[in-house]
Amino acid sequence: MIILPQRFYQDRPDNVARKLLGKILVRIYIGQRLSGMIVETEAYFGPEDPASRARRGGNLARVMASQPGIALVYGIHRQWLLNVVAHPPGGVGAILIRAIQPLEGIDVMKRLRKVNDLRQLTNGPGKLTRALAVDKSFHGKPLYSKETGLWIEDYMNVPVSKVARSGRIGVTEDLEEPYRFYIVDNPFVSVKKR
């Protein structure tokens, strides 16, 4: 298993969002491996992006401009959402991990989520953080190291023919270009759209 190195995230957010499809998100929870393959992501940019938290300033904007490869966790509607900071040197940006396909520790994840249906386990940004017991304590911690018990491993490269794009979900004001990436026909993608 190879943990994605920090330089993996030193690229434009849309490139990193695309590259993260097919990689594995791993969480060590009470000594056990919980994991899933990333099947859906969204790229967020700097202040020029109307849907980006970077526009609002404050701590989140600072973190989005800091070290690529660190986690950005923030709360909305009582859920935690997991992002990875990604941008070229001097840039601003982050990737929202919107859905994973469960691989390891499924029973534990079901217990944490209080659901039995595999399809419903991690097919949404708030659902997967709950299933992996990811919370604010990971905010600002590196995802390119085993230290914190949360990281992303290399796994497979998804061929271009299996990647689809759409506008970002749930945002009130989006950019012209579609910045949501997902694996075609994967049953764990959160919502169908266009």
Partner DNA sequence: CGCCAGATTGACT
Partner DNA sequence: GTCAATCTGGCGG
3-state secondary structure of 9: helix
Residue 83 vs 101, nearer CB to DNA? 83
Residue 94 vs 158, nearer CB to DNA? 94
Residues 6+ apart with CB under 8 A from 114: none
Residue 76 vs 161, nearer CB to DNA? 76
CA 2 to chain centre: 18
Question: At closest approach, how far in Å is the CB of 2 from DNA?
Answer: 26
Question: At closest approach, how far in Å is the CB of 139 from DNA?
Answer: 7
Is residue 24 within 8 A of residue 186, CB to CB? The reply is no
Residue 70 vs 72, nearer CB to DNA? 72
Which parts of this chain interact with DNA (CB under 7 A)?
Answer: 42, 44, 51-53, 56-61, 72, 74-79, 81, 83, 94, 96, 113, 115, 120, 124-127, 136, 139, 168-172, 190
The CB-side HSE value for 26 (13 A sphere, CA atoms) comes to 23
Cα 67 from Cα 52, distance rounded (Å): 17
Residue 31 vs 117, nearer CB to DNA? 117
Is residue 102 within 8 A of residue 121, CB to CB? The reply is yes
Residue 170 vs 187, nearer CB to DNA? 170
Question: At closest approach, how far in Å is the CB of 155 from DNA?
Answer: 22
Going from the C-alpha of 30 to that of each of 16, 27, 86, 132, 176, the distances in angstroms are 30, 10, 29, 11, 43
Question: At closest approach, how far in Å is the CB of 171 from DNA?
Answer: 5
Is residue 130 within 8 A of residue 122, CB to CB? The reply is no
Question: At closest approach, how far in Å is the CB of 161 from DNA?
Answer: 27
Question: At closest approach, how far in Å is the CB of 146 from DNA?
Answer: 24
Name the token pair of 123. Answer: 């097919």
